[in-house]
Amino acid sequence: MNNKPTICFNGQPLTIEDICQIASQRAQVGLCTQADFITRIDKGALFIDTLLKEQGFVYGVTTGFGDSCTVSVPLHLVEQLPRNLYTFHGCGLGDYFDAQQTRAILAVRLTSLARGFSGVRYKLLQHLTTLLTQDILPLIPQEGSVGASGDLTPLSYLAAVLAGERDVIYQGERQATQAVFSKLNIEALTLKPKEGLAIMNGTAAMTGLACLAYQRAAYLSQLTTRITSLASVALNGNAYHFDEKLFSVKPHPGQNRIAERIRSDLQVTETAPRNDTRLQDRYSLRCAPHIIGVLEDALPWLRQFIENELNSANDNPIIDAEGEHVLHGGHFYGGHIAFAMDSLKTAVANLADLLDRQMAQLMDSKFNHGLPANLSGASSEQAMINHGFKAVQIAVSAWTAEALKLTLPASVFSRSTECHNQDKVSMGTIAARDCLRILELTEQVGAAVLFAAVQGVELRGNVAAVSPALQQTIKFVRSFSTFLNTDRALEQELRQCLALIRTQHWPLYD
């Protein structure tokens, strides 16, 4: 019995969490079947047909695209134009979006088209829903979009698959779309006028990636906070750097939330005995709430940017079937997503840098207040040939450096293209891809420093005295990675930890 919740596409707003649940297959997809919804969707396509009959002119239907809008397309070629559009855009390169990313892209495009302002048929929404419910995933190259006029090249692969062309991933294998459709008795769609443009001329790729990036970043904020608490214990840090009264005088809500979490982890109360013989820890402990708090305070407005884009009609032209208007504009421009992703990737990279500095303190016997060099757990007889986390720290440094290198904002690298019609573009998809890569690297840093911090707490010898929350994290880590007393290759354990981080397998804070 399938107990997954169903997320219904009915033209109403969806959330980042809705898209992420669909992308990770934790929710089913449903398309509204109410008569008024179907009528409202089909009315846009019927209005396009009426315009063709009465006026014989609609942008992207009886004209070329972009700078070619002055090229007239005779009526007997109109039906061929959508196929030509997705065909000549089939030039993407680079790696392919993975299954989770592709589901997010499909779900975001369906959300926008279900708004009812794109001039497509209800039948097209049904076919797009079928791809999601049957998990037939277009094979979409990651590279080739400048983020205006939307994600043309990536979304051309979706349009082509709906029409029965190109390749998909189905049941874990790359297969020809037509072969999969034939096997499942799915009829390929012959795209109507405006439908090719409606599918492609939007921000679904960058916005789908942004939804995934947001959720991963929110979890990384919590993970970095928990690691900071463990590092503070391992380094005999001053827990009163996170005092409630102290933080009340600088009222950033996210920053205060991070401090409260660390206070709880360290069991800091007004009545608890103070251990503040070292008045001021280094910044990577003392200022951790101020660093993590930047991301935590950014999340609400990042959500606003992403969810507004998610729930928008963002192709061109917009079809107002009720008022019988064709509205030409630039809603395909991904500037808000570009800014959100450029901002998010900087905040996340700062978490990697923070954790890298905490790792340096834990490793160096000049700064770790009595812990063994490199956090080695070897006996005195074996100490000279065991190296603890020495190589792991080098790897953490490498991952951090790569993350920091990628923070250069993509949005400022606008390139005039397409005969200077697209003379200012968003670069939103590149920004989102950069952000996901920085998240990937920072998660790697997080996994490694988590191992080191747990080792440090155990070497300090006071595991029984730490809070239940920290004990739970230590127990969790030790369920798949044992105490490092002699050198061993940690790759597979780190990969296992990474997989758990990326699926947000264990809760950290309420």
Q: Alpha-carbon distance 28 to 332, whole Å?
A: 28
Measure the CA–CA gap between 503 and 21, rounded to whole angstroms: 11
Token pair 């991301």: residue:
295
Active-site pick, 59, 170, 219, 509:
59
59 is a catalytic site residue: yes
Q: d(Cα 131, Cα 126) in Å, to the nearest integer?
A: 9
> Which residues lie closer than 8 Å to 378 by C-beta, 6 or more apart?
385, 386, 388, 485, 486
Q: CA-CA distance, 168 to 165, in Å (whole number)?
A: 9
Q: Where on the phi/psi map is residue 419: left (φ > 0), alpha (ψ -120 to 50), or beta?
A: left
Would you state the structure tokens that stand for residue 307, as one six-digit string?
Answer: 């969810």
Task: Collapse the DSSP code of 312 into the 3-class scheme (helix H, G, I; strand E, B; otherwise coil) and give the result.
Answer: coil
* C-alpha closest to that of 204 among 90, 315, 123, 91: 315
Tell me how crowded residue 207 is: count the other CB atoms within 10 A of its CB.
37
Distance CA 142, CA 95 (A): 6
Q: Would you put residue 166 in left (φ > 0), alpha (ψ -120 to 50) or beta?
A: left
Q: Is the Cβ–Cβ distance between 442 and 221 less than 8 Å?
A: no
Alpha helices in 364-427 (DSSP H): 390-405
Q: Taking a C-beta distance cutoff of 8 angstroms, is the pair 292, 252 a contact?
A: no
C-alpha–C-alpha distance, residues 464 and 468, integer Å: 9
- Beta strand ranges found along 84-166 (DSSP E): 93-96, 137-138, 141-143
**Of 213, 21, 4, 25, which is closest to residue 137 (Cα–Cα)?**
25
Mapped onto helix, strand or coil, the DSSP state of residue 8 is strand
Backbone region of residue 172 per phi and psi (left: phi > 0; alpha: psi in -120 to 50; beta: other values): left
Please, are residues 19 and 42 in contact by the beta-carbon 8 Å criterion? no
Calpha distance 428→381 (Å, rounded): 56
The residue behind tokens 């190259």 is 141
**Coil, strand or helix at 278:** coil
CB neighbours of residue 262 within 10 Å? 23
Q: Count CB neighbours of 156 within 10 A.
A: 27
Residues annotated as catalytic are 59
